[in-house]
Chain A
Amino acid sequence: MRRFCVGAARACRYHRSMRNGLILGIAAFVFAATAASASESVRTDHAESALYPVEQGFAPGRTTWFVFEQTLQKGWHVYWKNPGDSGLPLELQWTLPAGFEAGAIIYPTPEKIPVGPLANYGHHGAPVFLVPVSAPEDAVIGETADIGLKATWLICEEICVPEEGAFALSLPVEVAPSVDEEAAATADAARSGAPQPFEAQAEFSVLSDSIVLSLRAPDGAGADGYFFPELEGLIEPAAPQRIERRGDRLVVAMTPGFAAADAGEHIAWVFGFGEGAERKGLSFAATRSETPIAAPLAAAPASATTGQSAGGAGLAALLFAAFIGGVILNIMPCVFPVIFIKAASLMKAAGADRSVIRRDGLFYAAGVIATFAALGGLLLALRAGGEQLGWGFHLQSPVVVLVSAYVLFLVGLNLGGVFHMGESLQGLGGGLAAKRGAAGSFFTGMLAVAVAAPCIGPFLTAPIGAAAFLPPALGLLIFILMGLGLAAPYLALSFIPRLGAMLPKPGAWMEVLKQALAFPVFAGAAFFLWVLAQQTGSEGLARALAGAVLLAFAAWLFERSKGAGARALMVRGAAAVAALLAIAPLVSLKIVDTAQASSGTHGGVDALAFDPAGIENLRAEGRGVFVDFTAAWCVTCQVNKLTVLSRADVAQAFAAGDTALMIADWTRRDPVITEALAAFGANGVPLYVYYPPQGEPVVLAQPLSARAVIEAVSQPSKGS
């Protein structure tokens, strides 16, 4: 049924309910003969649709806005420009005088409409669509422009009905057409309800199992919103979206749809959030990211459907893993000498007051936890600020590496007996002043974390990786639990006398062992110098070694200066000068791009430098790609390289499968590698990933074994 509503556009709009339709229809019919046509309305089985202009005429070279307003039967919906799994968008076919042109439809902010296991994007209630129609410069004033519109829409509740309506309006061409205020108000409300342009600085990545979108977080938008892509088939409309806040950005993971592979360089999006009258939309365009954007972790709280309990269990497991990883750190070669210093002091203190021992243990734990929390907090804060950093990031700075080398060198000289620092490093024996003991214990805790950093390997990658993506408070909790784990054995010794009693009795052997332990500590210092050489080249190494000699000289002078008198004072001054000269290299260290570790060989297998595009190219050629995420300062990485990846049988397996080896060298800062690590939920090295020619990449379990590597690269490729 079709009916005209002519003349007073206002009357049409105010009496558009189904009930009043008939009366209005008659009224309209009566007026039809006399009034100029300015509005037209069509009633169909499930909707009432009206077309009317805001400006009541056309001005040459100007735009007249048309309102296409539909009042839908309750429970029924029409579709957005991307209708989702099924349905069709509104189609408007205009018949316009020569030179007149209709622009693109401005849609209201869409809603996600679930239909069983499917989902559509559309509109309920009374959606208003706005269309601009421009008149040509040469439109003749005084003439009448006849506007014809054939509108077609699909309207669905559960079942779908295609509907259509034809509309005809005649508008004068005038210098200054009058504006219908009611129409203008409707159009303004529609404009503010439509998606607003938003400077999102958005990027997207198409990964094999997800589409990841990253944008500036809009003010006032919660995680309850939904991202509507304009491109049909880009995502699965029914699948949940995981939205995560990362600093001042939102990162969203979506399930790819059938057309994901055809996504171009730019995709238009609408972010819809809020309910009812509060509903808002933001429109923005995203550009394809040059590097993959890390997807939010599935274990993050926003992960929907599979249930909250799984997320809770994941978090508990993560916190437990952080603690256990911290405990295991105690027996890592980097940390052990420091632990020994503590244990030695404890043994000496066997006879001391329990309260002193307990306080000492607490200060040590405080030093460990505070350092972990400070490093973790700094890491999280920098990441929130948009820095592409991961665990061990401080070791990407040559200054930090050199300081670590010098600290270990001094500790070694001290253990070896070159110099003595009062009694503070001698521990708690002989009723030592509690104050100095406390400060010393705190410092030892800090030292333990400092030397532990390069050894944070297989057991802690998952918790640290997750820490970067969890809410900051939880992330910090993970770092604190790692610290608690590292401090736990010593805390236990301090608080449980029976455990302390099981330690061997102190004696002369301790002095011998202490001196002997200087050598693993020197080895640690040597390791850091090697890392420094990778970062700064032989020039930097030369300066660092010269500094080390001066430092040793200063230590020796310091030891010689014990006692009182002018002479001792002079020697002490000389020691200070030597020490200052020793640390001079710190200010002049320059990172050189040696790039030597970026490529090279593992036991005869030629390695390529990491390149995400290169991986896809190689896979397109039917080759598998093994990526070794490593860093010079990562001890675990070096051990794996020597004991696993350099083995002849591993090299053979690579050759047999024509597998390419790629090295992602994270010794220096590299945002591309940081993002690639994050894509696997990791936030540090080592990480070993095998990309078969087809199917999903496989993350190898750690500790790494040669057998696992051979099995991974020898597997026949499977389609996913």
Chain B
Amino acid sequence: MLKLFSATAIFAFAASAAFAAPEIGAAAPAFSGATTAGETISLDQFAGKNVVLEWTNHDCPFVVKHYTTGNMQATQQAAKEEGAVWITVISSAPGKQGYVSAAEADALTASRAAEPDYVVLDASGDIGRAYAAKTTPHMFVIDEAGKLRYDGAIDDKPSANHATVEDATNYLLAALDSVVAGEEVATARTKPYGCSVKYDE
């Protein structure tokens, strides 16, 4: 009876915290999703490589800041030079801001001269929820062993003002540098800033 009772108590509490951030240093939540190229990719196929996840919504002013200033493209470039796989995830639900078809997503990539390795369409929001992705942008770094090493903002300037990109400290690249160098990530979790991810209600 006692056991039954505590089990229900624990279950009730766990269920209420369903949208909980994944743990730094633990295995990153496994996922698979359809890319704009029509293929299905899954996280485990990138074992042995560092992976960057970027949540995006092209109409969000914060995303616009990073793409218009070229900051996101430069960050992608730098990450790729370090050998990381860059996956852009769009979790906007159909009818919501940022929801795009595969063709529209590819057109956006081309028009912005962005260079993600994959753009994953997550209209159900499943991947977003697994990572507790809250804002656009919201960045994650997963290391070669599949462990989550960074979760948070792209930089330390929570603002939509384009001028703030200038002297921002890029948390994502700092984390990736540490992971590549085999060091601890000094700032492994920050508060992501931006628009809320436009999940289905």
Please report A residues at the B interface, Cβ cutoff 8 Å: 85-88, 91, 115-118, 120, 152, 154, 156, 158-162, 209-210, 232-233, 236, 238-240, 255, 257-259, 297-299, 303-306, 310-311, 313-314, 317-318, 320-321, 324-325, 458-459, 461-462, 466, 681, 699, 701-702, 719-720
Contact = CB atoms under 8 A, between A and B. Distances in A.
A460 to B, nearest CB: 9
A719 B61 contact: no
Interface stretch (B45-53, B67-75, B192-200): B192-200
A116 B198 contact: yes
Given A159-B59, A462-B6, A239 B158 contact: no
A601 B84 CA distance: 54
Closest 4 CB pairs of A and B: A162-B160, A116-B199, A298-B12, A86-B196
A466 B191 CA distance: 37
Contact of A86 (B10, B15, B152, B195): B195
Contact of A310 (B12, B192, B199): B12
B195 A156 contact: yes
A461 to B, nearest CB: 6
A481 B78 CA distance: 69
Contacts of A209: 13, 17
A118 B200 CA distance: 11
Interface stretch (B20-28, B101-109, B177-185): B20-28
Main secondary structure of the interface of B (DSSP, over half): loop
A557 B17 CA distance: 69
A611 B7 CA distance: 26
A210 B3 CA distance: 21
Contacts of A152: 159, 161
B2 interface: yes
Interface in B165-190: 189
B191 A259 contact: yes
B15 A306 contact: yes
A238 B19 contact: yes
B111 interface: no
A583 to B, nearest CB: 39
12 contacts: A86-B192, A88-B193, A116-B200, A117-B19, A118-B134, A118-B197, A154-B160, A160-B194, A209-B17, A321-B1, A321-B5, A462-B1
B2 A702 contact: yes
B124 interface: no
B39 interface: no
Given A298-B10, A462-B6, A258 B195 contact: no
Contacts of B76: none
A577 to B, nearest CB: 50
B196 A161 contact: no
Given A258-B21, A258-B151, A299 B12 contact: yes
B129 interface: yes
B81 interface: no
A686 to B, nearest CB: 12
Contacts of B97: 158-159
A458 B2 contact: yes
Given A85-B196, A257-B21, 7 more contacts: A86-B134, A115-B196, A116-B199, A117-B18, A117-B129, A118-B197, A158-B96
Contacts of A321: 1-2, 5
Contacts of A299: 5, 8-9, 12
B16 interface: yes
Given A116-B201, A324-B1, A85 B134 contact: yes
Nearest to A458: B2
A120 B18 CA distance: 17
A484 B200 CA distance: 51
Nearest to B138: A86
Nearest to B10: A298
B35 interface: no
Given A88-B159, A116-B199, A306-B16, A162 B61 contact: yes
